Structure 1
């Protein structure tokens, strides 16, 4: 009985083994092949064992050997046709894996897993992938700063290489500029520039090194004296004069074109949309002016109409370009001028702020002057204008308010404030009856846009009277 027990014990000990891989990372070159070494210790045959090579997940099979043959149907697609288990060493416990046509994605950890009927073990090894790019191409780009600009280019490197300019004695030369990017194959491309002068380094080389492989590629060039510029002082003076002259001509032409473009593109002919006007507001026949009416009109309650705030929108909507128009508000009164997005809320209470889809400036009771930001921004009461120019820049997403009398800026909503939807001119008219120094000031405020007849409309008090305590006008002019 003792002999039988000892025999079983020896048999169990023999079944235990260790899987051993390399201590240092294995380095492979892109497009070539490499072997991932792995073996059993103590040495024993692995011909009848399962050998599984995989990445981070057990089922991410790089290669599987089982039941004495390769199980290619278990491989993940990116390794199909690119692996080979070296079976010549299986009987000696070697389970090396050959990996063909190395790719960048092959870089990383691999697990070598071996299992028999009673025991299994595994080892982890690291694969580094490196690529040697093309030989450096040195080109002459032209004259710069009294010398010659040289550019060195190369592609197909991995990881990012180190680039050096060197003179004939091997001393490093500082680069003028250096850029590195990834190409379509996700490998690194590099470009570096250098300026050489006639009396500096005419013999130079461009050296690109792969720090993983510790290998480099180098190109050498020699620049003859005839390539360096010879400048006549009279030519320099003539060149400066010509540059200044052509610059002045170009600037004049540019300013002339910009003036014409500004006049053509920025001024908008704004008319008012009666379908959006609050029932208390009365529009002129040509829809160029609006005032607060004595009674609330019986108008259709269509979805476009404001029914709570005394607002009206312009018919025109803008999505592109820069557009300006002028609004005359006169002195005193309560009013607001600006722009609104197409989807601004028309019914019930609305927020007069960018969150509510409105960007504008407002004068309130008592002469308070505000920019309708969130929260509101107080503006100097001494700067309350009688004529306001509204400039909408759809490309920048901003609107600017300018005092039309002296072109002084009033307020600008920053770029990106206005969304990319259709934007329309917007006006708000307060009801008459404002307390000024304990006196009630009655005002019938009116907006007259470009094209309004000089005598105003035929609606009684709608006559344009300019300024004063009687009637108050707003006019918007497209230049």
Structure 2
């Protein structure tokens, strides 16, 4: 009798051991970049079918609002809002059989800085359970540093270095032309609402220290950006201009007085001529929109203080577009054929960055590889989530679209009612866009020639994203620039979304 009890007890232990859950994760921490996709690999060993299990991925202190919750054979609609439409069950390798093989990996799309940290997995069967913890490290490589002169005193130069879009906070190093470390200056760090860091640093140098000075920003992973400038030109300009400074100031004052007198004369002359009345363009929610004469000598450096690093969101791209790996260049696919005559308004792709306040500036290159500037393009902003259309009448400010369009021989126009047409002497090779959300303005600039082209006064609401359309048939692509430096042409191939309908 005792032997029977012992045998039964051993059988129970054997059965429980055979159905126990053992969850395995890699020993190394997982790393991902902002905007990319990452998989947190996790599986059951030995392999067993996990389709009938309860799978809960969650962040610390958020067990009841998980990143992903799978039960009863499907993903449940109980989720932390930050991960909605971004999390799914993934595959730890190309050979994985998914849930049938016990693969319970978590896939995260469109990574943000807030995703960094610990992720918990809780796996539960009818009578067994297990769990694991994984750490996700997030990085973001910021913009190329912009070096500029802030002040000159004798043979000393106060240099400034500025860069944005970093995660985590980068280290700053000043170096000479022979790669010697220079005495560090002050460093100012700010953090945006999305968790990304902006850095500005200062240092004092002279020609006796170095001819070339470099500012290098680096992450602990070894990824870095570097900007360089020759300071001898700055010093020589200050030295040679010294004896003539007083004379130059006197000349400048005289020139300004003469210019003021000329403006007053012209103004009085216009008052003697009867002009027809002009009515400002009113468009309900649009408010007043102005087509101004092109204004020269815009301070582009002041605009670029609000520069943001824009990348393309491949998921919003029309199938007839090709986008490069860096998500910076877009053009029409070679096999794409328009279904309707006129400008291809449907060939749109949105930027991955979203804005609901503040000032944001970016630039777009419209001429590469020694080709003439593009004839066809559409650039502006739209409400997040809106869909492009072949029908121009549906792309209006009231529907959440604001843009400037170049339509070949048909010229340049906006999408407002009434439509504003620009008369430009030459096609822009580089277009600057300033979104001033708080002051309800969208401005366009000829960035190469420092010209203001157009400002749209309107009323924004909700979340806005950049909007791009490269048109059809141009030799040049539409390329989003890092406005801090002249960007070389990318040699990376374009990856197409195009598929024949």
- TM-score computed with the length of structure 1 as normaliser: 0.45
Structure 1 or 2: more strand by fraction: 1
Q: TM-score, normalised by structure 2?
A: 0.43
Q: Which one has a bigger Cα radius of gyration? A: 1
Higher relative contact order (CA 8 A, sep 6+): 2
